[in-house]
Amino acid sequence: MYVYDEHDRQMAAERVAQFRDQTERALAGELAEDEFLPLRLQNGLYVQRLAPMLRICVPYGMLRSTQLRRLARITRDYDKGYAHFTTRQNIQLNWPNLEDVPDILAELAEVEMHSNQTSGNCIRNTTTDQFSGVQSDELTDPRPYCEIIRQWSTFHPEFAYLPRKFKVAVNASEKTDRAAIQVHDIGLQIVRNEVGELGFRVHVGGGLGRTPMVAPVIREFLPELDLLTYLESVLRVYNRYGRRDNKFKARIKILVKALTPEGFAEKVEAEWSHIKDSPSRLTPEAIDRIKAYFTEPAYASLDNATELLAQQRFENRGFDQWLKYNVDIHKKPGYAIVSLTMKETGIPPGDVTDRQLEQIADLADEYSFGEVRVTHEQNVVLADVRQDQLLELWEQLGPMGFATANLNMLTDIICCPGGDFCALANAKSIPVAEAIQRRFDNLDFLYDLGEIDLNISGCMNACGHHHVGNIGVLGVDKKGQEFYQVSLGGASQHDATIGKILGPSFAQDDMPDVIAKIIDVYVNKRTEEESFLDTYRRVGIDPFKERVYA
Amino acid sequence: MPDVIFRDGSIRQNQWNVVSRPDSGEALDVPEQKRVLIPADLWLENRERFAGNEDVGVWLDSHDEPEILADYVNELPMIAVNFPKFSDGRGYSIARLLRERFGFKNELRAIGDVLLDQLQFMKRCGFDTYELRPDKDIRKAARCLNFFSQGYQAATDTDLPLFRRRAS
């Protein structure tokens, strides 16, 4: 994982001093509210329904145990003893005091953390696959490229006041896309060209929100070394020509659509032709330097513990289920990838207490080289667990509430904080998630249903990624009443699709029944091997409509 | 006239008057014996009259295309870029293009809704002077121009991104 050098440390300290100065001027009345707004947003600070909210950056989801312990301490000292894992691999505090934020940032900087550009109309945290570096089917580890993009985008002088927020995601697997790159402003798919050189397929103009769009490809192959000059060109075209007259039409997807992907690509290529050979072009040495931080940990030389695990599974059904659903194959023999689910029924999805953060830190130290990854599904991954220690780990996870074996199941719900916390929300989302989790509390039934993404957003801004849920739920406001619109058939991976709206919206109390009816249709119509999404794609939306609105 | 901030943090008397765009049908009113900045397209239309006049520069608005000046930038003693609202970030791209693409060598000035916390970004993008909005405390400008001792990226102020400086 990346470690700061003296340059990074210096800039991090300067940033804290800058924000301290800005906060003092804001509190002294020298900065008007609208002048302070972008400054605090670009330091992750929102003013929310109940209190300020601080969004702390977790670059591409990677955290060290020391950082988790510091976060735990911060939630105790400055907040109410819990934090929230977001849908963009970041962490939020819900109750800090405005005047404490510079101190919190100083504490974060001590452990090489920050909240830079986690909000505001700037380039946000670059996200990637939580299994990067440990899965066998990726072309290369995407994290060094994410770090290169992080450095390039941090305090970029030209792109701090874009028309709107800007999100980049990177994926390196040909089979999966856990980073959902096609619904980002820029999605970078790592590919090799016909002569075997590494590069990127560049998607631009995807996004959720009010106008959901799957990003078109604007360049089939961008050589590795050209990454930053090309990104700079895309951003410059967007900064100059993106709409600024209407916030709802200001994302790059609207510009790409207006110019057509071909027209947009032409503008980018024209810009790029001027700067592609500038000193901002990456060098092999610069890439190698960053890659050196993402080398493999000191793996033991092991064989797969196939027989041991078979025996343990045979003796313990709970362990067997957990292994099947929450544990993935690792590229190294004898190791496994373990997902800790933060989706216990009754707890808002993604919420963790200070004690749990410390428990995760301890587990990371004991079982996974002191590192964890945060996922956009709001779970936590221990990426390097020895197979012969899985049973021991599982036995510890149960009492901590991290072993609910529902990864990717119907109840592994992606959910924004919603109307309980967020000033933007039209409706609550957490109680809807909980009611659905309570309705579907039988794990055997969930396993029989197989993988279903259920995503809930409390408003059009779509932080809960409802458009790309196989089942999407969107909170809407109808004359002051909270209602929920359901969409079906969304998908976020290489087959990225925006879900289709089922029909008129429902009251909150009806939601578990509505989901149950949708599931009924699937169970009745499916063939043996079909997932929910397969069945939906085959039979279409009508059978679901007929059943739900009967 | 309020003072103007220079990139080294010094504060000097402002010599330049911004002439706003005349209403349609009205003629451009250029005051005599003063240094003036006129809308860039009007300078172009009257280039024969103004070229070589060290007292006439231009200003671009944030939606203007700096490309119109590409072949003439160094005929101008000063180009100003207007920030109609501080949160309108187009001026940063305009500045970099004037400097890095069109090779503008003379004074580049930020005018309009210019506040303290954007000054260092403006400096990095090639602005030399800054007309701070009059209600802001000009004594704090020097500090705000220098919050950061360096940047990660190349910009107008340096060709070398940090990854190249690290390598050397």
Q: Which two three-digit tokens encode residue A387?
A: 């197979």
A274 close contact with B: CB closer than 8 A: yes
- What's the confidence (pLDDT) of residue A217? 98
The DSSP-derived string for A104-151 is HHHHHHHTT-B-TTSSSSSB---EE-TTTTT-TTBSS-SHHHHHHHHH
CATH number where B119 lies:
3.20.20
CA of A161: which chain B residue's CA is closest?
A: B89
Domains of chain A, first to last: 6-110 (3.90.480.20), 135-293 (3.30.413.10), 306-400 (3.90.480.20), 414-548 (3.30.413.10)
Q: Which residues contact B45 (CB under 8 A, 6 or more apart)?
A: none
- Compute the distance between CA of residue A356 and CA of residue A59 in angstroms, rounded to an integer: 21
* A236 interfaces chain B, CB cutoff of 8 Å: yes
Domain membership of residue B25 as a residue range: 4-167
Two structure tokens written together for A322:
């957990």
Torsion of CA A362, A365, A367, A368, to 10 degrees: 130
Contact A360, A441 (CB under 8 A): no
Which B residues, 94 through 113, put their C-beta within 8 Å of a C-beta on chain A? 94, 96, 101
For an interface test with B, which of A6, A31, A155 has the most B Cβ atoms less than 10 Å from its Cβ? Answer: A155
Q: How far is CA B164 from CA A279, A294, B125, in A?
A: 8, 20, 19
Question: Please, which residues bridge with residue B78 across strands?
Answer: B107
Chain B residue with CA closest to A278: the answer is: B159
Q: Identify the three-state secondary structure at position B17.
A: strand
Q: Which residues pair with A371 in a beta bridge?
A: A64
Q: How far apart are CA A408 and CA A395, in angstroms?
A: 21
Would the ipTM clear 0.95, i.e. be above it? Answer: yes
pLDDT for res A463: 87
Contact between A158 and B96 using a beta-carbon 8 Å cutoff: yes
How far is A491 from chain B, CA to nearest CA, in Å? 34
Amino acid at site B62: S
Confirm if A405 and A318 have CB atoms less than 8 A apart.
Answer: yes
Tokens of B40: 């860039």
Can you give the pLDDT at residue A478? Answer: 87
Provide the percentage of residues in chain B whose pLDDT is more than 90: 89
List, for residues A297-351, the tens digit of each pLDDT value. Answer: 999 999 999 999 999 999 999 999 999 999 999 999 999 999 998 887 788 888 9
Number of folded domains that form chain B: 1
Contacting B residues, span 131-160, partner chain A, CB-CB under 8 Å: 137, 143, 147-155, 159-160
**If 0-12 CB within 10 Å is exposed, 13-18 middle and 19+ buried, where does residue A504 land?**
exposed
Q: What is the pLDDT of residues B36-59, one digit of tens each?
A: 999 999 999 999 999 889 999 999
pLDDT computed for residue A423 by the predictor: 79
A219 contact B CB<8A: no
Tell me which amino acid residue A76 is: R
**Stretches in chain A below the pLDDT threshold 70:** 48-50
pLDDT for res A443: 84
Q: CA of B31 to nearest chain A CA: how many angstroms apart?
A: 33
Across the interface, do B89 and A160 touch by the CB < 8 Å criterion?
yes
**Coil vs helix vs strand at B56:** strand
**Which of A119, A113, A126, A149 has its CA nearest to residue A15?**
A113
Contact B159 A278 (CB under 8 A): yes
- Give me the pLDDT at residue B168, please: 66
pLDDT digits 0-9 by tens, B151-164: 999 999 999 999 99
Decide if A11 and B152 are in contact by the 8 Å CB cutoff. Answer: yes
Are B148 and A286 an interchain contact pair (Cβ–Cβ within 8 Å)? no
Query: pTM of this prediction?
Result: 0.91
Q: What is the C-alpha to C-alpha distance for residues A77 and A420, in angstroms, rounded to an integer?
A: 23
Interface size, chain A vs chain B, as Cβ–Cβ contacts under 8 Å:
108
Which position has the higher pLDDT, B26 or B93? Answer: B93
* B23 close to A (CB below 8 A): no
